[in-house]
Amino acid sequence: MTDLSAAHDAAVTDRMRLAGSAYSSDRDLAARQSLYRWQTPRYDLPGMVAEQLAGVQGRVVDVGCGNGRFVQRLREVRPDLGLLGLDIASGILAGVPGPVAVADATRLPLATGGVDAALALHMLYHVGDIPQAVRELSRVVAGDGLVIASTNSDRDKAELDELWQRAAGDVLGTGRGPARISLSARFSLEKAPAFLEEEFGSVRTIELPGTITVRDPGPVIAHMASYRAWADQHDVPFDATLERARTILLDHIARRGAFEVTCLGGILVCRR
Ligand SMILES: C[S@@+](CC[C@H](N)C(=O)[O-])C[C@H]1O[C@@H](n2cnc3c(N)ncnc32)[C@H](O)[C@@H]1O
């Protein structure tokens, strides 16, 4: 029997897959981000990060900046900061206003103490050697070393995992089908403090619970489809499972009026 979680871990951290497929453009990331439009309460994550940076002057690096959601907001509200966006995927950097560069979180092209704060938002779970990336974040920040990370809880969006397994089971004719891949499991909100406390004396978690309510399957199916780069990890035909999930959702919404997904994400504010 294959060790599913080891295979999933390898796929979640595979740089060829990350740079060449999952984040070769912002299409899939944007689909995942857009599901939060239907969340209550709405959290302004870039605004919350800007708030945490209120006392910071000088240079800030956003490691794994993706499509630049945070870089762009910070450029607007904190034009005084020297912002640098880094990512291993050159494709996703195309639309991000510079300066940006291709770089790996485990080998940051920055001097020791070269920045005044560092961001690692929803990205450390993609890094093969998480302790090494945490050491690099700690190395590059000056002073008391402000690092802001973010991720999701192990319990985040459990209804989507359930929906996937039900749809996959229907496609395979097996009752409950195989679990879908979890991107954040390696550095979940529950696991993150232990990794970060290796370098930082203070790690404060800000939990962001919410509920997504949809009355149309579209946003949920687009979110599930955004895992297409990992379709081969699912041991079930991906498109057929999406189609079956759409039918299950349509039926659920017709009977109950809406489909609800409980969310739990969080921000970790770290200082040495
Ligand atoms: C889920 S996206 C998050 C993007 C952005 N930080 C945000 O929160 O909107 C993860 C990003 O981390 C990048 N990434 C993954 N592994 C990385 C690594 N080892 N070094 C730098 N960036 C990496 C991916 O290419 C992707 O753009």
Q: What is the 3-state secondary structure (H, E, C) of 36-61?
A: HHHEECCCCHHHHHHHHCCCCCCEEE
Percent of the chain with pLDDT over 90: 93
Taking the whole predicted model, whether its pTM rises above 0.85 is answered as yes
Give yes or no for residue 126 CB within 6 A of ligand 1.
Answer: yes
| pLDDT confidence of residue 143 | 87
Q: Is the CB of 147 under 6 A from ligand 1?
A: no
Model pLDDT, residue 2: 46
pLDDT for position 3: 63
Please, are residues 224 and 242 in contact by the beta-carbon 8 Å criterion? yes
Q: Where does the pLDDT of residue 4 fall: very low under 50, low under 70, confident under 90, or very high at 90 and above?
A: low
Q: Is the CB–ligand 1 distance for residue 35 below 6 Å?
A: no
CB 179 within 8 A of CB 4: yes
Tens digit of pLDDT for each residue in 8-66? 899 999 999 999 999 999 999 999 999 999 999 999 999 999 999 999 999 999 999 99
Whose alpha carbon is nearest atom 13 of ligand 1?
64
Average pLDDT, stretch 92-111?
96
Average pLDDT, the chain: 96
The structural domains of the chain, with segments of one domain joined by +, span 4-271
> What CA–CA distance (Å, rounded) separates 179 from 129?
24
Q: Ramachandran region of residue 111, left (φ > 0), alpha (ψ -120 to 50) or beta?
A: beta
Ligand 1 atom nearest to 133, measured from its CA:
19
Structure tokens at 235: 């041991």
Separation of alpha carbons 23 and 58, rounded Å: 29
The Å distance, Cα 185 to ligand 1 centre, comes to: 15
pLDDT the model gives residue 171: 97
CA distance 243 to 171: 10
pLDDT at 177: 94
Ligand 1 midpoint to CA 171 (Å): 32
Q: Provide the CATH number for the domain formed by 4-271 in this structure.
A: 3.40.50.150
Per-residue pLDDT at 1: 37
The whole-number average pLDDT for the span 143-161 is: 96
Residue 236 has pLDDT above 50, yes or no: yes
- Residues 252-260 have a mean pLDDT of 98
- For the CA of 92, the nearest atom of ligand 1: 27
Q: Ligand 1: distance of its center to the CA of 69 in Å? A: 12
Nearest to 199 by CA among 123, 103, 93, 124: 124
